[in-house]
Amino acid sequence: MSELEEMLLREDRGFIRILTINRPHRMNAMSTELGDRLIEEFVDANADPSVRVIVLTAVGDRAFCAGADLKARAEEDKAGKPFQPLLSRVQRYVFEVVLETFKPTIAALNGPAVAGGCELALACDMRVGAEHALMGLPEAKRGKGAHFANVMLPRLIPSGIAYEMLYLGEYINMEEAKRWGLVNRVVPKGEALNEALLMAAAICENAPVTIRRMKETAVRANGLPMSVALRLNEGVSPYTSEDRVEGVRAYVEKRKPVWRGV
């Protein structure tokens, strides 16, 4: 396994793709190379018909992701290397790729998710947090941007709470995060991945065509006027799918449905 492959591990468990950030020596911080690997893996999982749910986590319990690798950036600044904003690069914006993945995504927060790590978690559909984890956006304390969070956070929680997190740059614990809906579940230390996998397995019991339609419509309808959003027709239609026929038949016959994803 190459160094690039080692920084993001991949494992399949049935229909579930597990992606694990593996940079514990740097608090699982985001490097340019890791961002590129995340893009590659989410694009691959999105296109793989055997994958129905993607779970994103990290090695250890010290951090889910500490955001940008500031030590590496300081060295690059010292060497005079220009900074390239995420939206000015050749490849797609990593948080945008995660957000627009049409398969359900769950972030298993095995530890603190801060700065870009918090944004990475926010790009996922759902979040499970270990009780010792924290979430926060300290960019205002570092002179950085938090561009994705600037757009995403006020869409997820009350604007006043979003602005407080952005302007003050302070961290919140998992109980606070759950109160505001930033995490779905809080579990004991070491159990975030297990809980996320239970959620993923439950999703896999449901019709994949329907789940895909739900995800694509929800993402693309965000911000659209209601009259426009109701007329979206994203992806394969569950109404005319074989899975719809199978789901009704299985219910009538009192058996478990066998989904084909078509």
- Three-state SS string over the chain comes to CCHHHHCEEEEEECCEEEEEECCHHHCCCECHHHHHHHHHHHHHHHHCCCCCEEEEEECCCCCCECCECHHHHHHHHHCCCCCCCHHHCCCCCHHHHHHHCCCCEEEEECCCEECHHHHHHHHCCEEEEECCCEEECCHHHHCCCCHHHHHHHHHHCCHHHHHHHHHHCCEEEHHHHHHCCCCCEEECCCCHHHHHHHHHHHHHCCCHHHHHHHHHHHHHHCCCCHHHHCCCCCCCCHHHCHHHHHHHHHHHCCCCCCCCCC
The whole-number pLDDT of residue 233 equals 86
pTM here is: 0.91
- Is 139 considered catalytic here? yes
Question: Which two structure tokens, joined as six digits, stand for 27?
Answer: 């608090």
Which one from 139, 176, 234, 242 is the annotated catalytic residue? Answer: 139
The whole-number pLDDT of residue 5 equals 75
Question: What is the CB neighbour count within 10 angstroms for residue 204?
Answer: 18
Q: Which of 110, 166, 107, 112 is nearest to 134 (CA)?
A: 112
68 CB-near residues (< 8 Å, 6+ apart): 29, 30, 115, 116, 144
Mean pLDDT, 10 residues at a time, the chain of 262 residues = 83 98 93 93 96 97 85 64 65 90 97 96 98 96 89 95 96 97 98 98 96 92 90 86 94 95 88
Backbone angles phi, psi at 17, to 5 degrees: -100, 120
The whole-number pLDDT of residue 23 equals 94
